[in-house]
Structure 1
């Protein structure tokens, strides 16, 4: 008698081998299966089933087994026609059957007695699209709907937050808000593109490169390059072993027998916007900017006629973005005219009267710092301030000549008297220009090696040159910069690459093998100016508080914003899946290997 442990082990192995057709490999293709019988319900053995891709004309054939079953796996999303033939029966046809991402389409056919020269148009029975092979819940969005939905950054994965059971992005809620599927954190989502994994190997919910909006894949997926988009939110099958959140599956567009293409441009500028409330309050005009996102794609046959037993198709895509305009008005805290002169002004909390204290060893002119200053000694020469019997400056030196030189030469004068504490520090408001440039390219090639073997390969490249607000020169400290004209001297370039390929072959009528490979280069940088000596003879950076916009200096050099960082992640994924149909049983066995070496460098100033 078998022991309990052996029984449990055998049951576990059986469950693994009885996984639904999606298998252990997270595919982004579809599956077509069904039962062929006659009008009495008796199964038809040895019927020839042909699935024809309407876009390319490529036809796959299968023969029903001894249980009348057939199955086509790894079917690229698209529109297909199905024909079933058998000697002694009329030819059955099903036209315009749509296969979507991750879908298992069941097409059962009842053959009528007759000659093969007679054709019967078969209407699909109700429930053909019902997913009876697994209980995965989710929704599929086609390209037409993707293009019609509002989407500011034109990235397909950003629509994740619009899916059922998914938390929307919460402005101001922090980078962990938005994109949580069924209660899991957003860093538990997995992103699949053309069957490969594009999930970031680094940041989790920190979103170093995704701007904290619920996350996305490590490489963008422009809407116009995606054929279909699907999110599985609950009850995922055993293929989804990577994380506990949602499974985002995307399929690229591909070429067909006919050439097809499109071009587009999206334009935004201040011409379509109102001025901000803050700008109106300070009397600042609307900031001029323009934002262009443009691109296009083309696909079709790559070579005339057949090559290596079949046809070759391609689809190429490019998208660019140029954002040379001014982003927004920023405000920095800078020393007032009084503080620059070595005078500190304090307002009595009871009388509201301002008193000026001259810390210099010599009499100094008391300047006005605006309408908030009711100091009665404005315009007079203030004597050295005394604190009891001694000067308020125990060193009796007044403002440091180094500080005085720094403020007079490299820190602009305030233009907002209501900023800072309004007396000793005030605001400097100016428009900050952050010119961004994005370039995205994609190429996909599909080839049919006869009716038994199919290959596809896709490569994507993305360059995002993005200045940041981590370090900003407002004083003309660096070569080429100007006093009072803020300029970003830091950037966060993102340069990922993605390669994916797959080969599907019919080894025997009831045995199909799928091999997939993907490589993701997740590469980004934080490029910083670091610490810069402002004055000769002072071998160090000078700032007066560890604050981004309040350091009272021409260039903030706080540790968190001035250090360089590099991330260079490499994700290699290999997967081989065998699908075997025996009678009414359908088993899938898969082996998956993932190798993810990552190299990071942190430079701290």
Structure 2
């Protein structure tokens, strides 16, 4: 076996070892409920199957003696949930949307089966489900909101402001475009929740810690096209999310399914479309911004193995308008006789003439004649640097 073949084999083995960790880090939810008959009595031993309508992956559970069932740790997605029991008609609910960290309660009522029983299919797509399993408060930002709500710079952090108790952090701070900040470039804004500082938030990406550890910002800012949904937890959430005093943001990425889906995008901003800045003068400053990328997901082996990839680039070319005080043409020659409003001409002193006045005991200097520095006293290197202004 050649060296290249050995390297490929080692890569395949490494990826296979990583696969269980990747699966366990996915964002998950729970579907549970009660199965009863037409008279209201519970039905123990019924088979409950949840099938992901995108990947065809299935999970199965049996109802207990109280007719209860639970399907924990289901990857988020859209499911068809089927209940079967001998002597009863099969019941199925489709388009059941399971969201991140959701405990969805789904009850079934089975009818006695006839000789020629058929499957009864009902959709729950329009149902409003009340969260009864826990008292946590938060705001889910679903896939449609992520894709369609306008965002400045395609920064998903702005959507966290839809959650209760959240406000935008101070503009220009260390976490939001602040000077000399190694984390502000990851996003154009930060979030303050429950009155806490912006660096008190906890960011999780597919269940993995996504915090920038030195300052508390977002470690990796995913592309909008790679986010399925995310949830902003604000009050009474589980102890597993209690590592920080602010809010906890759970971001869930998209995944491949049995059908191919993808996007291609290009957003641009050009100074030809902008108004002139008041401080620009007669010529507008240059501004060219391009955000571009793609996403693609689909099956590798149908019903078994899937892929999803995405890429985003952001190029900004801009000119900066800055107000500066620069030397005049006479000052370049060492002549300081000019005066300006609220700035009269001042004497220029010879630094080499500094001495102690014997009468007063303080340092004194001699001013140059006519407020002019002799040409032979001007350093040639300093003169060349001055001429660059």
**Class of the TM-score when normalised by the shorter of the 2 chains:** 0.7 to 0.9
Q: Is the 8 A contact 2:92 2:119 kept in 1?
A: yes
How many Å separate the matches in 2 of 1:313 and 1:52?
Answer: 16
| SS of residue paired to 1:302 | strand
User: Is residue 2:292 matched to residue 1:294?
Assistant: yes
1:315 Cα shift? 0.6
Query: Given the alignment, which residue of 186, 203, 206 partners 2:215?
Result: 203
Where does 1:502-517 land on structure 2 (aligned, <5 Å)? none
Query: 1:97 and 1:412, CA in 2 relative to 1: closer, same or farther beyond 3 A?
Result: farther
In structure 1, what is the equivalent of residue 268 of structure 2? Answer: 267
Mapped partners of 1:127, 1:258: distance in 2: 26
Cα RMSD between the aligned structures?
3.4
User: Given the alignment of the two structures, is residue 391 of structure 1 paired with residue 366 of structure 2, yes or no?
Assistant: yes
- Contact 1:184-1:244 within 8 A present in 2 as well: yes
Structure 2 unaligned residues grouped into runs of 5+: 1-23, 177-188, 352-363
CA contact (8 A) 1:138 1:233 kept: yes
Could you say which residue in structure 2 is the equivalent of 1:250? Answer: 251
Deviation track 1:379-424 (CA, whole Å, cap 9, x = no partner) reads xxxxxxxxxx97326xxx957979743442123465xxxxxxxxxx
Alpha-carbon contact 1:340-1:404 (below 8 Å) kept? no
Q: Which runs of 5+ in 1 are unaligned?
A: 1-24, 205-214, 362-388, 415-605
Secondary structure of residue in 1 paired with 2:60: strand
Q: C-alpha displacement at 1:336, in angstroms?
A: 3.6
SS in 1 for 2:144: helix
**Residue 4 (structure 1) aligns with:** none
Indicate the residue corresponding to 2:183 in structure 1: none
Query: How high is the TM-score relative to the length of structure 1?
Result: 0.51
Is 2:332–2:387's contact at 8 Å kept on the other side of the alignment? no
Alignment-derived partner of residue 65 in structure 1? 64
Q: TM-score, normalised by structure 2?
A: 0.77
Query: CA separation in 1, counterparts of 2:263 and 2:58?
Result: 27
**Alignment length (residue pairs):** 340
2:19 is aligned to: none
1:445-489 alpha-carbon deviations (Å, 9 max, x no partner): xxxxxxxxxxxxxxxxxxxxxxxxxxxxxxxxxxxxxxxxxxxxx
C-alpha distance in 2 between matches for 1:125 and 1:291: 40
Alpha-carbon displacement from aligned partner over 1:359-387 (angstroms, at most 9, x marks no partner): 469xxxxxxxxxxxxxxxxxxxxxxxxxx
- Give the structure 2 partner of residue 220 of structure 1: 221
Shift of 1:123: 6.1
Partners in 2 of 1:398 and 1:299 — Cα distance? 72
User: Larger relative CO (CA 8 A, sep 6+): 1 or 2?
Assistant: 1
Are 1:319 and 2:312 counterparts? yes
When residues 174 and 271 of structure 1 are mapped into structure 2, their CA distance, relative to the original with a 3 A threshold, is same
Task: State the partner residue of 1:94.
Answer: 93
Counterpart in the other structure of 1:55: 54
1:28 deviation in Å? 3.2
Query: Which of 400, 405, 408 lines up with 2:380 in the alignment?
Result: 405
Q: Out of 200, 203, 207, which is 1:188 matched to? A: 200
Residue of 314, 319, 330 corresponding to 2:322: 330
Which protein is richer in strand relative to its size? 1
Describe the shift of the 1:63–1:170 C-alpha distance in structure 2 as closer, same or farther (beyond 3 A). same
Deviation at 1:326, TM superposition (A): 2.3
For 1:399 and 1:161, how far apart are their aligned partners in 2? 64
Cα distance between partner residues in 2 of 1:220 and 1:228: 14
- Between the aligned partners of 2:198 and 2:119, the Cα distance in structure 1 is 52
Distance 1:180 1:353 in 2: 45
Equivalent pair of 1:360/1:399 in contact (CA under 8 Å): no
Deviation, 1:334, is: 3.7
Deviation at 1:58, TM superposition (A): 1.6
Matches within 5 A, 1:363-378: none
Q: Which residue of 1 aligns with 2:108?
A: 109
Q: Against the structure 1 CA distance between its residues 299 and 402, is the aligned structure 2 distance closer, same or farther, given a 3 Å change threshold?
A: farther
- 1:157·1:221 contact (CA, 8 Å) conserved in 2? no
Matched residue of 2:292: which SS? strand
Cα deviation code 1:258-311 (max 9, x no counterpart): 11111111011112210101113xx3x0122211111111111113x5xxxx61
- My pick for the range that moved more, 91-100 or 325-334, is 325-334
Counterpart Cα distance in 2 of 1:90 and 1:353: 95
Per-residue deviation, 1:166: 0.6
For the Cα contact (< 8 Å) 1:107–1:128, is it kept in 2?
no
SS at match of 1:278: coil
